[in-house]
Amino acid sequence: MYLATTCRRDAPPTPSGVRRRVPGTVLALGAVSLVTDISSEMVTAVLPLYLVLGLGLSPLQFGLLDGLSTAATALVRLLGGATADRGGRHKQVGGIGYALSACSRPVLLLAGGATGWIATALAADRLGKGVRTAPRDALITLHSPPEDLGRAFGTHRAMDTTGALLGPLAAFALLWATADAYDAVFAVSFCVGAFGVLLWVLLVPGRTGADGKSPNDPPPRARAGSRAGTLARFRAGPLAGLRSPAYRRIVLCAGLLGAATVGDSFLYLLLQRRLAFDATWFPFLPLGAAAVYLLLAVPAGRLADRTGRRGPFLYGHGALLLAYGLLLAPLPDTAVLVGVLLLLGVFYAATDGVLMALAGPFLAEGRHAGGLAVVQTAQALARVGAAVAFGAVWTVSGPGTALVAAMTALTAALCCAARLLPTTPSDDGGPKPFESLAPDPSERTD
């Protein structure tokens, strides 16, 4: 059980050996994500089944649809991050994203078999996710001590993943009770998503200042030129962090590894194809990976805080590489099923929140949402290419060839990332890289 308390980034450090409480804002954000993920995963769990098996889309068409809907988030991630940083509007911008995703459900409900309307609904959902993700993660960063970012993100992702577990269960129950009525899934998903928007409005703290501080925080210690330095960093835009070589390497590695990441939907389709089980059980596949993610998210975050965030991030992608290999291995079907879902859960636990915790300390004050959005955009754009390429190779040469190509690409990307990824400043007590962005030494943060 996680205990809530307020926690400011400028608060005095907790004595060594004393476990800090998870900030209340992180728990509030986790509650919103839990509810919202129930809504989104209800749709995600049945969508591949609905499109490929129900509407008869080819793997290439599904890859194009999935890739294009993901591409829709790329530019809005940057726009959402930059807008959220302007005057500290993290809550307002994030709320728009949650509302947009919720409103995409009625479009699915009314689309029928029209692929164009389905694509519109998917794009709206991904746009909403793109808008809200950077402001939400910026709020986690701003309300957590830098040395505990891994645990804060791990706690949030664990709560988020609880929703990912409940969503497919709800979808399966509805399909079973309504004789495969997908419309019922979409309708209930909309209602749950609307409740998540309400929780965001009621629980998440309001506006923060232009420097990312809460208005309830005490003023920082006076230092000459600090206001001018913050404004200068703000005017530099969300790409200002790219002047830091270490931050540039993080963005590059996120893109390289994203370009070799096969989407979950493809892995679940491959499992269904290999095991040839009844399609009714398809929504249960995400549950195994989500359960592992739920169990390991917080421990992985704590491990990253203690040993450095670079290692767990790389090892997580190694787990994904093993999952690809299992799908090709001549092993019993049960071993393949359990192994792939276990490794997929390990992958997300060791990479999702850890990547944000790795990048966070390299960002200037007032630029957290924009800086995290750059990392997320690089990863999203790379995954668009991965989805389209994997679907194309599968359609032309078969799933085996597509998996071999994916394994080759991921191995190469891991080798590059192992050489390029920097060590987080908080891991070794070194200076924060964003200090080099200040035009004058007097503007450096303490």
**Tens of each residue's pLDDT in the chain, 446 residues:** 333 333 444 444 444 445 568 888 899 999 999 999 898 888 877 776 667 666 666 666 766 666 666 666 667 777 888 888 887 788 898 999 999 988 888 887 777 666 677 777 877 888 888 888 888 988 998 888 888 888 899 899 889 889 888 888 888 888 888 876 778 888 898 999 999 999 999 988 875 544 444 443 434 333 334 444 444 444 455 565 566 788 889 999 999 999 999 888 788 888 888 887 776 677 677 788 888 988 998 999 889 888 888 889 999 999 999 999 999 888 888 899 999 999 999 999 999 888 888 888 887 777 777 888 888 888 888 887 888 888 889 888 888 899 999 999 999 999 999 999 887 654 444 434 443 333 333 333 33
Question: To 10 degrees, what angle do helices 310-328 and 333-359 make?
Answer: 160
Predicted pLDDT at 426: 47
On the CB side of 79, CA atoms within 13 Å amount to 12
Dist CA 256 CA 413 (whole Å): 6
**pLDDT for the residue 115:** 66
Global pTM exceeds 0.85: no
Helix (H) or strand (E) run with residue 172 in it: helix 149-177
CA proximity to 54, closest of 185, 190, 177, 164: 185
**Distance in angstroms (rounded) separating the CA atoms of residues 353 and 363:** 16
Of 307, 275, 262, 290, nearest in space to 410 by CA: 262
Distance (Å, whole) CA 69 – CA 107: 14
Using alpha carbons, list the distances in angstroms from residue 266 to 41, 130, 388: 15, 21, 11
Q: Establish how many alpha carbons lie within 13 A of residue 6's alpha carbon, considering only the half-sphere containing its beta carbon.
A: 10
Return the pLDDT at 433.
Answer: 41
CA 224 to chain centroid, in Å, comes to 38
pLDDT score, position 145: 86
Q: What separation in angstroms does the CA of 108 have from each of 47, 64, 102, 121? A: 10, 18, 11, 6
pLDDT confidence of residue 436: 37
Give the separation between CA 317 and CA 262, rounded to whole angstroms. 11
What whole-number distance in Å separates Cα of residue 280 and Cα of residue 266?
17
Alpha carbons 192 and 170: distance in angstroms, whole number: 11
List C-alpha distances in Å: 348 to 55, 315, 320. 30, 11, 9
pLDDT of residue 35: 93
3-state class (DSSP) for residue 446: coil
